[in-house]
A and B are shown apart, each in its own frame.
Chain A
Amino acid sequence: MKFKKVLTLRTIVATSAGLTLASSSFVAAVQVAGFLSGDSAWLAILIAGVFCLAAGMCFSELNDILPSAAGIRLYFGRAFGEKAALTVSLLYMLVVMGVVGAESYILAKILNYAFPSIDPLIWIFFMLASVTLMNIRGIKIAGAFQDVITYGLLVSVMVLSYIGLEKLDFHLAAPLVAGGMDNLFSAVAVGVFLFVGFEWVTPLAEEVTESRLISKGMFIAVGLLSVVYSFFTVVMAANVPREELVNSPMPQLLFARNILGDAGVAWIVVISLASSITTFNAGLISVSRFFYATAREHALPAVFSKISMRYMTPWVSILAVFAVGLTLSVIILFTGKYLVLVNMAAAAECLVYALTGVAVLVLRKKINRERKFIIPWGPVIPLLTTVVFTLLMLGVFATDPYMALWMAIGLGITWWYVSRIVPVLKEKHKAGRVSRRRNQNPESRSQNPE
Chain B
Amino acid sequence: MATHGEITESLRAFEQAYADDSRLKVMNRDWDRKVLILADDLESAHTMILKDGELSFSEGKTADPDLTVISNSDILADMFFGDITPTEPYMNGSLRIIGPEDDILRLDFISLLIWGE
Residues in chain A within 8 A of chain B (CB atoms): 1-5, 66-70, 73-74, 77-78, 82, 140, 203-204, 206-207, 289, 292-293, 296-298, 302, 305, 307, 309, 312, 429, 433, 435-438, 440-441, 444-445, 447, 449-450
Chain A residues positioned under 8 Å from B85 (CB to CB): 296-298
B54 CB within 8 Å of chain A: no
Q: Closest A residue to B99 by CB, please name it.
A: A206
Given A5-B100, A305-B112, A449-B75 contact (CB < 8 Å): yes
1/0 per residue B45-70: CB within 8 Å of A? 00000000000000000011110100
A206 engages B100 (CB within 8 Å) = yes
A312 engages B104 (CB within 8 Å) = no
B81 CB within 8 Å of chain A: yes
B66 engages A297 (CB within 8 Å) = no
Q: Which of B6, B63, B95, B101 contacts A206 (CB 8 A)?
A: B101
A293 engages B93 (CB within 8 Å) = no
Chain A residues positioned under 8 Å from B19 (CB to CB): none
- 10 A-B pairs in the complex with CB atoms less than 8 angstroms apart: A74-B92, A77-B93, A207-B101, A296-B85, A305-B112, A307-B112, A312-B106, A438-B83, A447-B74, A450-B92
Rounded to whole angstroms, the CA-CA distance of A444 and B4 in the bound complex is: 12
A436 engages B74 (CB within 8 Å) = no
Give chain B interface residues in 77-97, CB to chain A under 8 Å: 77-78, 81-97
Q: Closest B residue to A7 by CB, please name it.
A: B100
Chain B residues positioned under 8 Å from A312 (CB to CB): 27, 106, 109
Q: Which of B23, B78, B101 contacts A69 (CB 8 A)?
A: B101
Question: Min CB distance, B13 to chain A, in Å?
Answer: 7
Chain B residues positioned under 8 Å from A67 (CB to CB): 96
A296 engages B64 (CB within 8 Å) = no
- Beyond A70-B93, A312-B106, 10 extra complex contacts between A and B, CB < 8 Å: A1-B65, A68-B90, A78-B93, A206-B99, A207-B99, A207-B101, A289-B105, A305-B112, A436-B83, A440-B13
Chain A residues positioned under 8 Å from B66 (CB to CB): 4-5
Chain A residues positioned under 8 Å from B81 (CB to CB): 435-437, 440
Chain B residues positioned under 8 Å from A207 (CB to CB): 99-101
B64 engages A74 (CB within 8 Å) = no
Question: Min CB distance, A450 to chain B, in Å?
Answer: 5
Chain B residues positioned under 8 Å from A204 (CB to CB): 101
Chain A residues positioned under 8 Å from B98 (CB to CB): 1, 3, 206
Number of A-B contacts (CB under 8 A): 116
Residues in chain B within 8 A of chain A (CB atoms): 1-2, 6, 9-10, 13, 23, 27, 63-66, 68, 72, 74-75, 77-78, 81-102, 104-106, 108-109, 112-113, 117
B87 engages A441 (CB within 8 Å) = no
Q: Closest B residue to A292 by CB, please name it.
A: B105
B74 engages A445 (CB within 8 Å) = yes
Q: Which of B13, B87, B93, B99 contacts A296 (CB 8 A)?
A: B87
Given A309-B23, A437-B77, A449-B84 contact (CB < 8 Å): yes
B92 engages A433 (CB within 8 Å) = no
Chain A residues positioned under 8 Å from B9 (CB to CB): 440-441
Q: Which of A70, A82, A433 contacts B83 (CB 8 A)?
A: A433
A68 engages B64 (CB within 8 Å) = no
Chain A CB within 10 A, most for which of B13, B72, B97, B101: B101
Chain A CB within 10 A, most for which of B64, B84, B93: B93
Rounded to whole angstroms, the CA-CA distance of A293 and B65 in the bound complex is: 24
B105 engages A1 (CB within 8 Å) = no
Q: Which of B64, B82, B83 contacts A2 (CB 8 A)?
A: B64
Rounded to whole angstroms, the CA-CA distance of A74 and B90 in the bound complex is: 8
Chain B residues positioned under 8 Å from A140 (CB to CB): 102
Q: Closest B residue to A207 by CB, please name it.
A: B100
Chain A residues positioned under 8 Å from B105 (CB to CB): 289, 292
A450 engages B93 (CB within 8 Å) = yes
Chain A residues positioned under 8 Å from B77 (CB to CB): 437, 444
Q: Closest B residue to A433 by CB, please name it.
A: B83
Chain B residues positioned under 8 Å from A1 (CB to CB): 65, 68, 98
Chain A residues positioned under 8 Å from B65 (CB to CB): 1
Q: Which of B2, B64, B99, B112 contacts A444 (CB 8 A)?
A: B2
Chain B residues positioned under 8 Å from A433 (CB to CB): 83
* Across the A-B interface, the 8 shortest Cβ-Cβ residue pairs: A447-B74, A296-B87, A437-B81, A449-B89, A436-B81, A450-B94, A297-B87, A449-B94
Rounded to whole angstroms, the CA-CA distance of A88 and B59 in the bound complex is: 41
Question: Min CB distance, A401 to chain B, in Å?
Answer: 36
Rounded to whole angstroms, the CA-CA distance of A449 and B87 in the bound complex is: 11
Chain A residues positioned under 8 Å from B64 (CB to CB): 2, 4
Rounded to whole angstroms, the CA-CA distance of A297 and B112 in the bound complex is: 11
Rounded to whole angstroms, the CA-CA distance of A366 and B81 in the bound complex is: 31
